[in-house]
Amino acid sequence: MLTDGTGGNNNGPGNSGDSLLEELNRDEENQENTGLDDDINTDDKQAWIDIQRFMGEKIDIVAMLSILDVNSLVEEMFSSKFTGKNGDYHGVGIWVLASFINHSCNPNAKRYHIGDHVIVHASRDIKEGEEITLGYFDVFSPLKNRKEMAKNWGFDCQCKRCKFEDEVSAKNEMGEIEMGYERGVDVGTTVYKLEESMRRWMVRGKMKGYLRASFWKVYSELFVSEKLMRKWGRKVPTMDVVVESIVEAVGGDERVLRVVSEGMKRNGGGGVLEMEKVMKLGRGVYGKVMKKQALRSLIC
C-alpha cells in the first residue's frame, strides 16, 4: 500500500502510517525469513527502484510542469457551484487513477472531493462497455466556448455531441441564435428560437439535450424569472422537460439542481413526486454517498 510517508509505528506489518521504503524493507525481511517468493508488492518494489534511478537523472522542470498541468484536477468550492459564491477559491491536486479518465462533452461521470480523497460516480445511466468519461471543463457551454477550452487543454474534442453540434452550427438559424446569445438578447426569444429551430430540423432524443445544455444559461434565466415565464411559459417547453432531456444527455449539474430546487420552493415545496425527482437529480450530482437527509436539507 502506497502511503504519504509521514511516519509509522512498529506494531506490525502494513500499518497505515508506514512509508513505502519501510514497507519494502519489511517485505524483504519477511521473504528472507520465510524463503517464499511473495510477489504481492512487486509493482511497489519496481516503482521504488524506478524512483531511485530517476533521482539520479536531471529533471526536466518544463516537462514535469506540463504533466502536472494536464493531469491535475481542479476543484471549486461547493458554495461556488451551488450558491454561486466564493468563485475565486479552488484547490488543485493529482489523483493518479482519476487522471486516466478521458474527457467528453457528454460525460457519464462526475467527481467531487472529500478531504484528500476524490470520488468519481455515475452522473447518468451508463451502458455496458461504455467508457467512463468526465468533463474537463464546463460542458454547459456553447460549442464555440467548448472548442476554445479544449484548445487550452491541447486537444480537439470529437465526441458525439461535438460532431452533432458542428453540423448544426453550419445552419443560418443557429448562427443567429448564437449571435443573440452573445449579445444578451432577451432570453425568452433565444429559447423560443432554439426550440422552434430544433422542431424544424427534426432534432430528437439526446440531440435536443445536447443543444439545451449548450444554452443552459438562457434556459435557467428564463425558468427563474416569473415575469419571463408569464410571457413565454406557453411558448417553450416546461422546466421538467428541459431538465430531463439535459440530464439524460450530459448528466446532472449543481446549477441545474439549484434552478430545480428553487422552482420547487416557489411552488410551495412540491409534493412527494416532485421531491423524489429533485432527490434523484441530487444523487446524480453528488452520488449515493451523500445521505438522503443531508441532501434533503441541502435542496429544501
CATH assignment of the domain containing 91: 2.170.270.10
In terms of domains, do 181 and 209 share one?
yes
The grid coordinates of residue 120 equal 468519481
What is the pLDDT of the chain when averaged over all its residues? 78
Last residue of one domain, picked from the residues 13, 34, 57? 57
| Residue 103, domain extent | 63-134
Predicted local distance difference test score (pLDDT) of residue 292: 65
In terms of domains, do 151 and 293 share one?
yes
Helices (H), 83-139: 96-99
Contacts of 122 (CB under 8 A, 6+ apart): 108, 109, 284, 287
Count: domains in the chain: 3
Distances in Å between the Cα of 138 and the Cα atoms of 123, 203, 240 are 15, 23, 22
Does the pLDDT at position 203 exceed 50?
yes
In terms of domains, do 293 and 181 share one?
yes
Predicted local distance difference test score (pLDDT) of residue 42: 66
Predicted local distance difference test score (pLDDT) of residue 191: 96
In terms of domains, do 165 and 284 share one?
yes
The grid coordinates of residue 58 equal 536531471
Does the pLDDT at position 4 exceed 60?
no
Beta strands in the chain (DSSP E): 73-76, 90-93, 102-103, 109-114, 117-122, 133-134
Distance of CA 257 to the CA centre of its chain: 14
In this prediction, residues 49-55 reach a mean pLDDT of 61
Q: Give the least confident one: 16-30, 145-159, 240-254.
A: 16-30
Last residue of one domain, picked from the residues 117, 134, 151? 134
**pTM greater than 0.85 (yes/no):** no
